[in-house]
A and B are shown apart, each in its own frame.
Chain A
Amino acid sequence: MVLKEINHEEAGAQPASVVSSALKAPALETRLAAPIDRLAATVADFILFAPLMTLAMSPFKRQAVEAQLSGNDEAWMMACLSGGLTAALVLVIYQTVCLMKWRATPGKMIFGLRVEALWPEQRALNPMSAFLRSIVFCLEIVMLGLPWLAILSNERRRPFHDRIADTIVISKRARKVGPPVLSEMAFSSGLLAAVLTCVALVTTFKLTQMGFGGHSAAADLESSGDLCAAVGEAERNWIPGTGEERPSRIGVALTLYHADAINQDCLKQEADYAMWNGDQKDLAYLARGLSETADDELAQSYLDKACETTTPGDACRALTLLREPELPEDEIEAKTAQVDHENQVHEIVESLGPKTAPFLKVLAIRELSTERNDSRALQFIDQFPPQKELSYFLATERTKALWNLDRQSEARLSLQSSISGFDADQRIAVSRWFCQNETSAIGCAAAQRPACDWLANAVAQDEDLLKNADITLTYLRGETCSERLGEKQLASLKPKVGDEAARTYVEALEHLAKGQKDKGREVLQKLAADTEKSGSFFIEANARLADLAGSPTDLVKVRDAWTKTDPSEEGWAFLGRHLMDRYNQLRAWDETLEVGFKLGQNEAIDRSAARALVVAAYRAGHSRMAYGYLEAFAKTTRAAVAADERPRDRMPANSGKAPSSDGFEEIARELLNGTSLTPKLRSREVRSPFGGSK
């Protein structure tokens, strides 16, 4: 075989006998087959050969289709491989037989081409040469036919399959060509480079897609045909609570869904599966109804069906917790219906026990959290053994409940023990909530602010977080409290902040840091004047203005702004409590009571505000009112006060009977005259600002 083309120069270096026999070439060189004839011959061969090849491959094609339908990738791969090998085998036989018998394939015969042995002593192709040529021809097809470009560049127009078999293709017709000219070689090189570049680009693109492709979870589920992986994992690892039965897969899915651990697509897939394969169809119908977003009527049909299958089943009870009552137009009837519904909800929640399905417990926790019945919510939370998929929900709900129950230390501990298991987004969300509450409820004086530090770290690692106005607001609060925001820090922070109102607020802080109080106040007043533009910074600016006020009259504008704000808006309670605190500090007792009363009407009194109310009422000379507030405070905060009050988180220094800075303990003791509060006051009627605790 002659892998390397014999050149005339090299031939000159060979022994004379070899050269003379090798150079049968001069005779052949002048009647080489034209490349276009060879291409046309290949096309003709393809037309004749393709149906034969398809026939040979058909059983494997059938196997591949069947494997694809059954999702058996291995069988599909085997069928494709077998089909490819069969096609190659048929092609090799076709070529070998044709070359041995006629020295040409049918396509070549049509165009008068012949495959000749290079050596003069071989008239016909020997079987090994023909076989070898055919094998290499097949391999060249796998290589996208690129080696065939040698027809345009090789001196005797011999691609690799000709060189390995020591053959040459000649033409017996008038159309003959000589060795390739320069333009052919250039075209060949250019085409080769272009094809290789395209292949490289396509390969890179495919690899990039495989490596970094943004497949959504839903898309992955659809393509794999599997069920939701998070539900499967949770079901396998589920630890039932004491006396609790192991929940079904759909029960786990519903639990995770209500705990915001899976999305609607995931729930829908689980519901579909449970519907056709599971036995708890009422839960499946409930899940299907909850996951249907496109068609309200259909969703309603599923929810109705959930209650039809079993009565009164868990699905039915869950529906009562989830559904808003249908209220009649008549106001009185509507009120009655609302009360009935609330009673139903209350009954269901009260009927739940440790053996209750976990998804119902999750719903109950949500309901109780909304009702601010935090101690009951805590009972349900504590019934859950550690579940990885529910850890975020349980930890945040436990933390919130503890916080609302004035058990801040435990809340902090709960958060600290679980935050390491959260992902980055969850960590930011929870630290934001916590920092906001620490700074707004406890105030800057509190020493324990790890949540604000977590948030600050997160912002330091990813400054894009400052494009979110809410995160920026909490971050600024935390950093202001920590006194880490100096003039320089604020100046460098300003361009990083994405929100226009936030930038203005930072500007105000910058003025204040420089000691330019008037300028700072001016900028804050701009923010405080426009609710729409300022967004969440409207409340913050007003709170800052309250801090800057030197007398009760300076607080009039802030109070007006607060009065005009809808109590349902986020930050309203914070500003109210801030305002009340400031009035209290300025010894404006009547204003304190007025603001406190409005906060109470909207159930926005926290422990600190309640204490302030008692003190203000007492100082303003309304002892009876102070007494009533003290009673309500004791009930609402569900804690003992006065002499037998246990050490509080807020007052590490004032624990036990030590006097407090606002004089609350002394006032309380005086009002109670040293006796236990709760039994004595239960029969008294006092108008309470705490709501529901009369």
Chain B
Amino acid sequence: MIFPWLSGLLRPSKAPITYLFLFLNCLVYLGTYQNFDVADAQLDTYLEDDSFLETQGSAFAVMIAKEPKAFSGPLRALALRASKADSNARRTLGGFALRNSEFMNRAQTYSFGGDEVAVGRWRMRLLEFQKLQDTNPSYLWGLSEKHNSWMHFFTYQFAHAGFAHLFWNMLFMLIFGCFVESRLGGSFVALAYVGGGLAGALLFAKLSGISYSPLVGASGAVSGLIGLVAFGWWKRERVRYLYLLLPTPDYMGVAFLPSWILGIVFLLPDLSSYLSSTKELGSVAYTAHLGGAAFGALMAFAYSRGWLVNEIETPAKSSGDGSSSEDKPDDLRNAS
């Protein structure tokens, strides 16, 4: 395992903009988590209901069979299986249907035929489900087919689908944000965060398409910061990582390694996952990560060309090696 530690977690006074973003994210989470938990638990009851999902899958299969050109190959193949009374395929297709705007928008009026009793019951439940979605903060703050105004391209960056989602995004935001803010200034953090989030949403909309299922989370924005560090420090200085190869003292610790390793550890898996998943099936917005990272890389390029100006005099200029003596204890220097 290798984990970027960079300059670690600085005090708020040393990285106020980074902490401002942390505060905003936490504020949104605290304001919405109760609603989110309740709505999420209620939504889960529908998603755990086999008859709901199976009927939805059968209905979706009918729509795909009637309009095959509007759907991808994997969905057509799955629909074919679902139409042959394969209950697993129906449930899977039923799950995918929830993300498909075409289906969700026409579900109440479309002539599916088939089991009219089950379809009648399912339609009633789907209405309830959609009402629940309207009260769910993920849907209110997130970027989705229903909520896709310009405002949602920004608000989605501050909403999270659960504590774990928030925790990991904020941890990486603090690590990368503190590093960038201490070396380039708070405006770089703000630009990388907001610009990365926006670029992530745009690339997501372009490559994956805005779906009925909302896009939420700061990961696109954080990817902007990661891209900035990975490409901005490529030739400047080695950065600090924590590593754990074996659980013995000699094989864990701190190492100073090139920043491009961040690209291998964080961005390459996103690219792989994007290439290996189909549009309808993935639940993680890899394209949003890649969009954010691309924005960060552009910022790094702009900075290297002098189009963006460093706000603060970096310790690298004063010390000559690109890393502050405060961040890099003597005993660790040799570890690189």
> Which of B92, B251, B265 touches A69 (beta carbons < 8 Å)?
B92
Chain A CB count within 10 A is highest, among B77, B83, B268, for B77
State how many angstroms separate the Cβ of B89 from the closest Cβ of chain A.
Answer: 6
> Which of A44, A65, A70, A285 touches B277 (beta carbons < 8 Å)?
A65
Q: Residues on B close to A: CB < 8 A?
A: 1-2, 58, 61-62, 73-74, 77-78, 80-81, 83-89, 92, 113-118, 121, 243, 245-246, 248, 250-251, 261, 264-265, 268-269, 271-273, 275-278, 281
Asked if residues B272 and A222 are in contact (CB atoms below 8 Å), the reply is no
Given the known interface contacts A70-B81, A222-B87, A225-B81, the answer about A54 and B272 at a Cβ–Cβ threshold of 8 Å is yes
Q: Which residue of A lies closest to B80 (CB)?
A: A70
Is the CB of A275 closer than 8 A to any CB of chain B? yes
> Which of B73, B85, B261, B273 touches A272 (beta carbons < 8 Å)?
B85
Asked if residues B271 and A55 are in contact (CB atoms below 8 Å), the reply is yes
Asked if residues A273 and B85 are in contact (CB atoms below 8 Å), the reply is yes
Asked if residues B251 and A40 are in contact (CB atoms below 8 Å), the reply is yes
Q: Which residue of A lies closest to B252 (CB)?
A: A40
State how many angstroms separate the Cβ of B55 from the closest Cβ of chain A.
Answer: 10
Asked if residues A227 and B2 are in contact (CB atoms below 8 Å), the reply is no
Is the CB of A62 closer than 8 A to any CB of chain B? yes
Given the known interface contacts A44-B245, A62-B277, A225-B89, the answer about A51 and B264 at a Cβ–Cβ threshold of 8 Å is yes
Which residues of chain B are within 8 angstroms of A13 by Cβ–Cβ distance? none
> Which of A55, A227, A276 touches B62 (beta carbons < 8 Å)?
A276
Q: A39-B246, A58-B276, A305-B116 are in contact. List 19 more A-B contacts (CB 8 A).
A: A52-B264, A52-B268, A58-B271, A62-B275, A65-B281, A66-B73, A66-B74, A71-B77, A222-B88, A225-B87, A226-B86, A227-B84, A272-B85, A276-B61, A276-B83, A276-B113, A285-B117, A288-B115, A298-B117
Asked if residues A69 and B77 are in contact (CB atoms below 8 Å), the reply is yes
Asked if residues A43 and B245 are in contact (CB atoms below 8 Å), the reply is yes
Asked if residues B246 and A47 are in contact (CB atoms below 8 Å), the reply is no
Asked if residues A225 and B83 are in contact (CB atoms below 8 Å), the reply is no
Is the CB of A352 closer than 8 A to any CB of chain B? no
Asked if residues A305 and B77 are in contact (CB atoms below 8 Å), the reply is no
A54 to B269, CA, bound (A): 7
A227 to B276, CA, bound (A): 32
A272 to B251, CA, bound (A): 59
A66 to B118, CA, bound (A): 29
Which residues of chain A are within 8 angstroms of B278 by Cβ–Cβ distance? 62, 65-66
Q: Which residue of A lies closest to B90 (CB)?
A: A272
Which residues of chain A are within 8 angstroms of B113 by Cβ–Cβ distance? 276
A-B pairs with beta carbons under 8 Å apart, 27 shown: A36-B246, A44-B243, A44-B245, A51-B265, A51-B268, A51-B272, A55-B268, A55-B275, A57-B272, A57-B276, A62-B275, A62-B276, A65-B277, A65-B278, A69-B89, A69-B281, A70-B77, A71-B81, A71-B89, A226-B85, A269-B85, A272-B58, A272-B85, A276-B61, A276-B114, A284-B115, A305-B117
Asked if residues A59 and B80 are in contact (CB atoms below 8 Å), the reply is no
Within 8 A of B (CB), among A32-89: 36, 39-40, 43-44, 47-48, 51-52, 54-55, 57-59, 61-62, 65-66, 69-72
Asked if residues B264 and A227 are in contact (CB atoms below 8 Å), the reply is no
State how many angstroms separate the Cβ of B279 from the closest Cβ of chain A.
Answer: 11
A275 to B54, CA, bound (A): 13
Q: Which residue of A lies closest to B62 (CB)?
A: A276
Is the CB of A562 closer than 8 A to any CB of chain B? no
State how many angstroms separate the Cβ of A210 from the closest Cβ of chain B.
Answer: 20
> Which of B87, B118, B261, B276 touches A61 (beta carbons < 8 Å)?
B276
A511 to B281, CA, bound (A): 76
Asked if residues A225 and B86 are in contact (CB atoms below 8 Å), the reply is yes
